[in-house]
Amino acid sequence: MINWSALSVFAILFAFVSVLGFFGARFRPGDLNQLHEWGLGGRRFGNVITWFLIGGDLYTAYTFIAVPALVYGQGSPAFFTLPYTAIAYPIAFVFAPRFWTIAKNRGYITFADFARERYDSRSLSLVVAVTGILTMMPYIALQLVGIQVVIKALGLSGSGIMRDVPVIVAFVILAAYTYRGGLRAPALVAIVKDALIYITVIAAVIIITAKLGGFAHIFSTVGPLLAARAKPASLLLPPQNYSAYVTLALGSAMALFMYPHSITGVLSASGPNVIRRNMAALPAYSVLLGIMALFGYMAIAAGVNPEHPNDVVPQLFLKMLPAWFAGFGFAAIAIGALVPAAIMSIAAANLFTRNIYREYVNPRCTDRQESGTAKLVSLLVKFGALVFVLGVPTEYAINFQLLAAGWILQTFPTLIFGLYTRWFHRRALLIGWGAGMVVATLMYAGNHFGPVYPLHVGPLTIPGFAALYAFAANLIVTVALTLAFDRLGVSRGADKTQPKDYEEAAADA
């Protein structure tokens, strides 16, 4: 049963954005046969574009669907996203400009490029690249899942292949304009996407809260409803959840800018000060996300009963907003999937092209071959994600992404410590990474892919974020082996970076 008013608004906005994407190549033109032009927009995005790009990149459709769904399902523990984002930006404020500078001065496109030169280690660079690529794949798949959820809410659910047509159409459009324009395409689309999201969320929160009788009423209704569930939940955080809450916030904050798509967004800025100003301004999106999280509670108060938690936001919109505005909101979310999916595929392509293709397959490739490979890889990555989404139950995509989140944190020592010191030995970092990966994988696999692992320390059981526990293991191994290898005289290789490469140019960016 198709919701025509919602669908028509949705279709118009979606078509508009698709056309816009195709004009992306002309935006601040550059030679798209060069990888840094295609893959990093030529490092030319100023304050405003960067804000839209990184905002659109980090706050994905899946985020907007999954966070309220988690709140609906779990109550207070799901709100770790608030302290998580409050911590993430200060961390990035400190290190991201420094990374931008070294990347600009030495021509890096990826974090793995940095690992290669700083530590003179191809293997370290390879593991960073592979980890990064692996994390992008499920994340892209989940964006397509976000589109599916919205399509379903529009009433376009057929069966078999008919059901999949909208997602395939979305994918084809996305693939086409990304292929041509590279990072410029999602940058342009991000402006529209973010504008739509802000309008939707601000208007929706005002309307829905008013309809539900104000915040006080919402909270007073939700509390008892949560407590009355088969698996009781609460508005306040139960003390036994404290360690999980804190470790989830800290670990996620540390991992956020390790993701290739975050790095790509950062590196496309035109200067380190653009990044600093954005770290001050990007928290605005987090406030938005906080409000969206509250939608989970509003859904409970409004009596929304979705068949699957991911349907919470769409069902809430359909129930509480005029149909055309629901369509508007759905378009915002669907477009909100395209921007990060595009950037993620570009980020994965950058990693593969620079750190696998150029490193191992064709070291003397021309610019054209390099950018051509990247374009092809980004297409393949998106295609792979599409096949995954259509063929594999959503459950697996979600679990894979959770695991990947645990993995990406293991690259933190190599990259972040490497920006400031060479104390850590390259072989130690490599083995430490391996240890972290193994611990993370074992913990997730042993816990049905729940991110919070109950660690048994003697008589105590401390539930904590598995990724952070794995990081701790990683760090311990890395430190111990650094000391051991130095004692044994294992070669450290030569640092190809110079101190002056880390210094910012005197002219303000």
The residues of the shown chain that bind another protein, judged by CB under 8 A, are 76, 79, 82-83, 85-87, 89-90, 93, 214-219, 235-237, 239, 242, 245-246, 249-250, 273, 276-277, 279-284, 286-287, 290, 294, 508
Nearer to another protein, 68 or 132 (CB): 68
Q: Do residues 56 and 193 touch, judged by C-beta distance below 8 A?
A: yes
Give me the amino acid identity at 246: V
Nearer to another protein, 85 or 414 (CB): 85
Kindly report the number of other CB atoms within 10 A of residue 462's CB atom: 14
What does the alpha-carbon distance between residue 452 and residue 439 come to, in Å, rounded to a whole number?
13
Nearer to another protein, 215 or 324 (CB): 215
Nearest to 346 by CA among 44, 57, 7: 57
What does the alpha-carbon distance between residue 161 and residue 283 come to, in Å, rounded to a whole number?
40
Nearer to another protein, 16 or 215 (CB): 215
Match 């990374």 to its residue by tokens: 99
Shortest reach from residue 324's CB to another protein, in Å: 29
Q: Where are the alpha helices (DSSP H) in 182-268?
A: 184-211, 214-227, 242-256, 260-267
Nearer to another protein, 236 or 460 (CB): 236
Shortest reach from residue 71's CB to another protein, in Å: 11
**3-class secondary-structure state, position 345:** helix
Q: Where are the alpha helices (DSSP H) in 302-322?
A: 312-320
Nearer to another protein, 94 or 390 (CB): 94
Shortest reach from residue 391's CB to another protein, in Å: 38
What does the alpha-carbon distance between residue 407 and residue 474 come to, in Å, rounded to a whole number?
11
Nearer to another protein, 273 or 394 (CB): 273
Shortest reach from residue 322's CB to another protein, in Å: 25
Shortest reach from residue 487's CB to another protein, in Å: 36
CA neighbours closer than 13 Å in the CB half-sphere of residue 158:
8
Give me the amino acid identity at 36: H
- With 0-12 CB in 10 A as exposed, 13-18 as middle and 19+ as buried, what is 319? middle
Neighbouring-strand partners of residue 453: 464
Helix, strand, coil share (%) of the chain residues, nearest 5: 80, 5, 20
Nearer to another protein, 83 or 450 (CB): 83
Shortest reach from residue 384's CB to another protein, in Å: 35
Nearer to another protein, 183 or 409 (CB): 409
Shortest reach from residue 223's CB to another protein, in Å: 9
Taking only Cα atoms into account, the Rg of the chain, rounded to an integer number of angstroms, comes to 23
Q: Do residues 184 and 41 touch, judged by C-beta distance below 8 A?
A: yes
Shortest reach from residue 508's CB to another protein, in Å: 5
Q: Do residues 22 and 15 touch, judged by C-beta distance below 8 A?
A: no
Q: Which two tokens stand for residue 448?
A: 């049905």
What does the alpha-carbon distance between residue 42 and residue 26 come to, in Å, rounded to a whole number?
13
Q: Do residues 59 and 65 touch, judged by C-beta distance below 8 A?
A: no
Shortest reach from residue 214's CB to another protein, in Å: 6
Please state the three-class secondary structure of 371-426 as a single string. Answer: HHHHHHHHHHHHHHHHHHHHHCCHHHHHHHHHHHHHHHHHHHHHHHHHHHCCCCCH
Nearer to another protein, 94 or 176 (CB): 94
Element (H, E) at 453: strand 452-457
What does the alpha-carbon distance between residue 295 and residue 308 come to, in Å, rounded to a whole number?
16
Shortest reach from residue 302's CB to another protein, in Å: 16
Shortest reach from residue 79's CB to another protein, in Å: 7
Q: Which two tokens stand for residue 320?
A: 């509480």
Nearer to another protein, 168 or 284 (CB): 284
Rounded to 5 degrees, what are φ and ψ at 485? -65, -35
Nearer to another protein, 290 or 450 (CB): 290
Shortest reach from residue 211's CB to another protein, in Å: 15
Nearest to 351 by CA among 51, 182, 129: 129
**3-class secondary-structure state, position 165:** helix
